[in-house]
Amino acid sequence: MELLVLVWRNLTARLTRSTFTWLGIAVASASMVLFLSFGEGLRHALAAEMGNMGPQIRVVAQGTDAFSPPLPELPPQMLEQIKQLAPELGIEKVIPAVVMFRGGFDPASSFLFYGLPPGADPRDFYPKAQVAAGRIDPHPSGAVVGSKKAELNHLTMGKELRLSRDVKLPVVGVLKPAGSMLDSFIFVPLRTLQKVLGTKNYGVFLVQLDPDAKPEEVAQKLEEQIPGIDAQSTTEALKFAERAMRIGDLIRFGISLVALVVGGLLVANTVMMSVYERTREFGVMRAIGARRRFIFGLVLSEALFLALAGGVSGVIAGYVGSALINLYTQHAVGLALSAVTPRLVFFSMGIALALGLIAGLIPARNASRIPVTEALGRV
Amino acid sequence: MLRAEHLSKHYRQGEATITALTDFTYDFPPGATAVVGPSGSGKTTLLNLLAGFDRPSTGSVELAATKLETLDEDGRADVRLRHAGFVFQSWNLLPTLTALENVSFPLLLAGVGRSERNQRALPLLEKMGLAARADHRPNQLSGGEQQRVAIARALALEPAVLFADEPTGNLDSAAGAQVLDLLLEHASGERRLVLVTHDLQIAARAQRVLHLRDGRLTKIEEL
């Protein structure tokens, strides 16, 4: 009959109320875990993506949104400028590319085309890319399809892919699953995609460096010497993405905080009601010789126990929810976009316990300060 | 020991001051002392002050060689835990605990380990004739049984003073007589029982009776 047993008995004595409070906290915690698991999953996916990517610098037109497909705004002269600077800056290879996005309502009906120049193939993006069927080079007039895209849209070898009313390409290669965005890409010849878009411009220059060159320095020099471009190294892109993720995390945390505050209020209400109903009990304890600290600890422990039970259940529910989301995203885009990481578990548990603590403090203080005579109705 | 000196208690009620007890002085000798008086005579107020539930407006209470008015709430709780036991009219058992756990509760507060608690609490329940009911919750016990559990709880730490406030008030005459016998049995040797009652027949079982009227000690009757 230690303190925990007392806590358990008191909570189970009012089972319905305690259960609903526990469920409230669990739902709030689960929603927080789910919301924040997207940030964690995206972080993992992005880090893996960047780690797998070949080019060390990505050059786009100034002002291009980092997370949108770049528009074809880089004129051919710019390519020449970079090529001229290549020996001086330690640039080994520049791949001009065009990107076209055809959006649908779901991943199966969305297409991301990369137009690559002759001599370049998917391995320039992802050095580990391997072909499962056909060839890896889309030239002179074919499409090489990522594994997930091929699976979702039944793009088998020889099947025709329509890029516009007039332009069709046969599938000449299907890539092996890479567990990255590569699985959702379609690579086509650059000229074909430029024709579809009606431009001679490029959307992005993918820059590969000599082993001795420092990507950040080269990116900075490119920006200084060629006005109107954004040159971003992989490290910078990761840093930028991390900042964006943090902002996203804050927004998601803000949204989930509403649920958490409601959960905290539930605990406060439950414990406050319980204190009110058990005033006489506390009076008896004090009359027998319980110190204020004992009563305070007992009531606070009840709030913390509810928060802990809700927090643990919430994390488990969030984990299950996250796994279900990943089942879908893995099917749809070949990526696990949600992750319940240890730090997210600790963070969620910390928040749940902090809420329990805050919610329990006032009832615990009130319970410990009820005068014995009042509590026992002996005034 | 239990001694009260010039004990008074006034309450403020709006603009008015109500005097519940006036200048009560008495050195409680070992044995059973009954406190009697009509409703509003100050019996409950006196018990509240003697037990340290409340602070006197003036005067002093000495319980187990400690002046209660010099202590804070927790200090008075410590003195109660070690030196006083309580039996209330409405039993006041903790509803979520079994009979055995209720009796063990003061031992838990005193920091006694679980096995020793059970070793000490079970014989008390046996003495109250409730060994078979040790695992029952209060709502599974009759009024008389609950009051006997309350007495066992009050005796758990072998207190020097036992306070009983109308202990038979909610019991039938047979259960009441049994409870009274158990209380009086405790008031032997150097131990003291302070028995507050309005029932003169019950008071007559004590060794002395203090008569209160309008908050004043009007008569001390040795029996």
Contact B44 A291 (CB under 8 A): no
Least Cα distance to B2 among B42, B39, B36, B31 occurs for B31
Q: Which domain holds residue B93?
A: 2-97+144-222
Is residue A128 less than 8 Å (CB to CB) from chain B?
Answer: no
Contact criterion met (CB below 8 Å) for B133 and B145: yes
Give A44 to chain B, closest Cα distance, Å. Answer: 49
Kindly indicate whether the ipTM for this predicted assembly is greater than 0.95, answering yes or no. no
Do strands B31-36 and B208-213 pair parallel, antiparallel, or not at all (unpaired)? parallel
Q: CB within 8 A of A365, min separation 6: which ones?
A: A296
Token output for A97 = 């590319």
Option in B54, B96, B106 nearest A373 (CB)? B54
Is residue B96 less than 8 Å (CB to CB) from chain A?
Answer: yes
* Residues of A whose CB is below 8 A from B110: 289
The whole-number pLDDT of residue A292 equals 93
* Domain-located, residue B184: yes
What tens digit of pLDDT does each residue of A216-271 get? 888 888 888 888 888 888 777 777 777 777 888 888 888 888 888 888 888 888 88
Contact criterion met (CB below 8 Å) for A178 and A144: no
Do strands B192-196 and B208-213 pair parallel, antiparallel, or not at all (unpaired)? unpaired
Contact A372 B54 (CB under 8 A): yes
Residues A183-189 have a mean pLDDT of 90
Read off the CATH number of the domain in which B198 is found: 3.40.50.300
Contact B94 A281 (CB under 8 A): yes
In the block, which residue shows the tokens 């037109």?
A61
Option in B48, B73, B114 nearest A378 (CB)? B48
Least Cα distance to B81 among B165, B184, B157 occurs for B157
* Domain-located, residue B84: yes
* Domain-located, residue B137: no
Measured N-to-C along each axis, helices A342-368 and A292-333 cross at an angle, to the nearest 10 degrees, of 150
B36 residue type, one letter: V
* Residues of B whose CB is below 8 A from A274: none
Show pLDDT as tens, one digit a residue, over chain B (223 residues): 899 999 999 988 888 888 899 999 999 999 999 999 988 899 999 999 999 999 999 999 999 889 998 999 999 999 999 999 998 888 889 999 999 999 999 999 999 998 999 999 999 999 888 899 999 999 999 988 998 899 999 989 989 999 999 888 877 888 788 888 888 888 888 899 999 998 888 899 999 999 999 999 999 988 8
Least Cα distance to B176 among B167, B165, B185 occurs for B167
* Pairwise CA distance, residues A10 & A304, whole Å: 13
Contact criterion met (CB below 8 Å) for B184 and B203: no
Q: CB within 8 A of A42, min separation 6: which ones?
A: A245, A248, A337
A117: preceding bond cis by omega (within 30 degrees): no
User: How many CA atoms are closer than 13 Å to the CA of B50, on its beta-carbon side?
Assistant: 30
* Domain-located, residue B106: no
How far from A230 is each of A51, A234, B7, CA to CA, in Å?
21, 13, 88
Q: CB within 8 A of B165, min separation 6: which ones?
A: B44, B47, B86, B87, B88, B89, B196
- At A54, is the pLDDT very low, low, confident or very high (cuts 50, 70, 90)? low
* Pairwise CA distance, residues B166 & B174, whole Å: 15
Contact criterion met (CB below 8 Å) for A136 and A175: yes
Is residue B92 less than 8 Å (CB to CB) from chain A?
Answer: yes
Could you tell me the residue ranges of all domains in chain A? 3-47+241-375, 63-227
Q: Hey, of B49, B86, B96, which one would you mutate to test binding to chain A, going by the most A CBs within 10 A of its CB?
A: B96
Option in B47, B74, B105 nearest A292 (CB)? B74
The pairs formed by A214-223 with CB atoms below 8 angstroms and a separation of 24 or more are: A215/A56, A215/A57, A218/A56, A218/A57, A218/A89, A218/A90, A218/A91, A219/A57, A221/A85, A221/A89, A222/A57, A222/A59, A222/A82, A222/A85, A222/A89
How many structural domains is chain B composed of? 1
Q: What is the DSSP string of A194-247?
A: HHHHT-S-BSEEEEEE-TTS-HHHHHHHHHHHSTTEEEEEHHHHHHHHHHHHHH
* Pairwise CA distance, residues A165 & B170, whole Å: 95
